[in-house]
Chains A and B, each alone.
Chain A
C-alpha cells in the first residue's frame, strides 16, 4: 500500500503543478471551456485517487473545490478574481496535506467557508432546514445499496438478524433481450448464485423463436431459480446489481427453513397458482380429471411445459432441503477393497471403448433413432466415468501427514530445527497417483531439509528464525494438481551447480545458461552439490528418480530458488491416469490423440501462410509468432501434404506451439493403455488407445515431443 501512496503523492504533485498553470491561464481567458474541463478533471483525479489511497482529508477537501468547478463548467458560475484567489490558496493547502505537514484546520475551514460564501452570493446555494445543501442540477439521490458502494459493508451485513438461518428463495430472472450487448454473461450470474447457496435452476426456453427468426445476438432464455441460502436477500440482489435495470428480476421468499416444520411442501398446482402462472379456477377445472397433474395442465394448454418443469424443480428442491435436514446425522460411507475399484475402472474403460464403437456405427449408418440412442449412451457413459473416477479420488492429506514424522526424525538426525506446514490437504487426487507420490515427495523433503535448512545457530546469525519452515501445499488447477514443496533455507547457488556440472562434464565451460536451465541440471543423474555426503542425501541419485517417477505419472517437475531465501519444487500432476478427454486427429491413415486439457485452439492454415510456416518452422497465430511443427514430418507419415492444414495450438511449458495435422476428428474419451515393453523407450508418446473400430491411436506426450525437437535443434546448430 505504501508503494501506491508514494505513487499517488508523485502524481498529485504533478497534477497540482499543471492545475496551477491552467488556473493562471484561465484568469487570462476566462471563457476557455477546454481549460475549465482540464481543471475539473485534474481536481477529479486528485479527489478520486486520494480517496483510494487513504488520503481521505484531501478527497473531502478537493470535493468542495470540484463542486465549485462543476458549476463553472456548467456555466452557472463565472470565473472571478475572488474564485481564482481561493482556488490557488486551496491548491497550496492540498500540497501541505500531501506532505502530511501539520494540517491547518483553521485555514482549511476558512477556505471552504469562503467558497460557500462565494456560491451563496451567486445564488447557487440554498438554505434548507438549517443544512447547507448543494444544487448542482444533475445529482440524483443514490438508490443502489450495493455492497460495492457501501463504505462499510460489514455494517450492512451484521444488521441482518437472520444471518445463519437457511431461507429458500424463488428467483425469476428474465434478462432483457439485449443483455449480451453490454457484455453481460448471464451464465456467470447463475454460477454466482450457485456460489451462495444450494441452487436449482430451470431454464425457460418458450420464447426462443424458430431458427430462421433467431437473432444470434439476442437473449431469449429466462431462468427460474430456487435458492436456499443463509446469506440473506441482499446478497442475491448484489448478484444482479449490474443488470437490474434491463432485466426483470423477482425475488420471493418461499420457505423459511429455520423452523423445523415437518409439513409436506405445496403441490405443483399450488405452486403455479402461487406464482401467478395459473388461476385457481383453471386449477380446479383440471383437477376434475385424474391424470398426472403436470401432463394434464400442459395438455389443456393452461400453462407452458417450462413453467411446470420449473414448479416441479421447486417442489423437489424444497423436499430435498426438508429431507436433508432430517437425514443429515446419518451421512455414511462404505469401505470397499481397492482391487474392486480398480476392476470397476477397467470395466468403465471397456465400456467407453464400446460406446465409441456404437457412436461411430450409429453416425455411419445415419439412422436417427440409433443416433439418439448412441448419444444417450454416450452421455451416460460420461457420467459413469466421472463418477467412477471420483470414487477413486483420495484427499492428498493422507500422505502429507506422514511427512510430519519424517521431518521430525530428520531434524533429530541432522541437529536441525524445522516444522512442516501443510496446506490444501483436502485436495483430491487419483489413488494410483497418490500411491506413487510417496517416494518422490520423501526425496524432495529430505533434500529440502538436508541441503536447504541451515543449522539453528547459522540461521540465527542470518537473522532468520531458529526453526526452519517447510511448506507442503497442494492445489487444484484445471485438470491438474499442483504440489509445492518449499523451504526457507539457504536456496541453491546457480554457480555451485554450474561448477559441479562442468566438473562432471555435463556442460561445456563456455555454455551460456539461464538460471532456469541451470536449475534443471539438478534432475540429471549424478549431480549432487552437497559438500559432504550425509546418510540422508548427496549421492546424486534422487532428483533424477523423482523426475522420472513424476514423468511416468504424466506430470512435470519445476524448481525455482533464491539464494539465501529458499527453494521451491513444484510438481504438476494430472488428476487421473486411466481416462482422459482427448482430441482425435488423423494423419493420412493413422490416428493420434492430443490431451484436450492442453489444447488451446484449432486453426486452419492455407497456401502462403502454410508454405512460409513450413519453411521457417514458425507461424503467425493471432498476431503472435509461435513455433510450428508438422506431425507429418516428425513421424515421417507417407502421403501428400493437404492444401489446407489444421493446426492444433497447444499450451506447452515454454509457451504456445502449433502442430500441423491433416484432419481434426473431434473430442474423444480416451482410455489410456500403456505401451508394451518394446515401445516404452519411444519418446513423444504417453500411451495408446483403441478406437471404436478397433484401430489403435497413439496418445501424444506434447511436453516430451517439444523437448525432443528442441534437443534436435540444439544439435543441428
Chain B
C-alpha cells in the first residue's frame, strides 16, 4: 500500500513551498501519492443576514468552483507532470480540523503545510491554523518555512 501525504495549500506562495517539499518527500518515499487540500475558512456559528443565508448554497458552490479552478487543478496538474499520483480536495471548515479529518479519512501518514507568511494581529491573539494543526493532529505534521 502506497504512503499518502496530505498537502495543505492556501493559494499563496507559501503553499507552493509546501508542494515543493511534498514532491521531494514523495520521491524519497518512492511508492507515494499526494492529496492536495484547500480549506475555505468557515464557521457554522458565524452570524449572517437572511439575504446571505438565502444565497449561501450558491455562494458555496461558487467558492468551491473558484478554488478548484484557480488553485487545486493547477497544483494537481503540476504534480502529475512531475510523475506523481495526485488528487485534490476543497472543503469548508476550520483549517486545522478539516486537514486532520481529511488525513484520517484518506489514511494519510503525514500532513505537510507551510508556515503562514501573513501573520496579522488576530493570529497573534488567537493562534494560527498551523499551530492548532500541530497541537491537535492525529498524524505527524511537517511545517515548511
A is bound by B: no
